[in-house]
Amino acid sequence: MLIWAIIFLVISLISGALGFSRLAGAFGFMARLIFALAFILFILTILIACAVL
pLDDT of residue 1 exceeding 90, the answer is no
What is the DSSP secondary-structure string of 3-46?
HHHHHHHHHHHHHHHHT-HHHHHHHHHHHHHHHHHHHHHHHHHH
pTM of the model: 0.79
In this prediction, residue 12 carries a pLDDT of 93
pLDDT tens for each residue of 16-50:
999 999 999 999 999 999 999 999 999 999 999 99
pLDDT of residue 52 exceeding 90, the answer is no
